[in-house]
Structure 1
């Protein structure tokens, strides 16, 4: 046994949960396996909701173009940008691509078997 893993176990461990009370932000790379649990209001007779925000964190070593280096919006810009329907379609394509990336990533990193075989 090594760190709670036995021969031919899945190469992952259950990490339990992290509390996120009001005012707390929990950030992690999106390729890590995660799950959002169920939600119930403490007092169901009162109105309420839960919001989940997705932040796209940027590596601080990557250079970002400054808005001072971006030309002003031109009058023709509205004819060369996406429509709402195009944006929704593009979002669906990105979500589909990400799904397959996550599936492959899971298979290669998390769902492989742990082996103590020496040869």
Structure 2
């Protein structure tokens, strides 16, 4: 559902949230920037905690990178959560936020998504 949420954002808003101009960036810098955007847009407290709990030792490097990036968000460099974007239709914002929860256990299922008012009105 996470990927479908990103497709919905692109389709409805014409925005590629994770687009990175990688010219001049190392692979490590590209990955760091992608994680930073992921956390900025979708890294709310419960979802982030669930993601970190979900990641096992086989992906420890990604877990460590996430934990390393979190402190970069400050009052002068705040997150930009999709869930707070007031210029976006409220029902669309709600369904996308539910599809893009970082915690797989909290993410809406396809069956649940189809029952969401945004799909009913579309």
| TM value normalised by structure 1 | 0.23
| TM value normalised by structure 2 | 0.23
Larger relative helix fraction: 2
Q: Which has the larger radius of gyration?
A: 1
Which structure is richer in relative contact order (CA contacts within 8 A, separation 6 or more)? Answer: 1
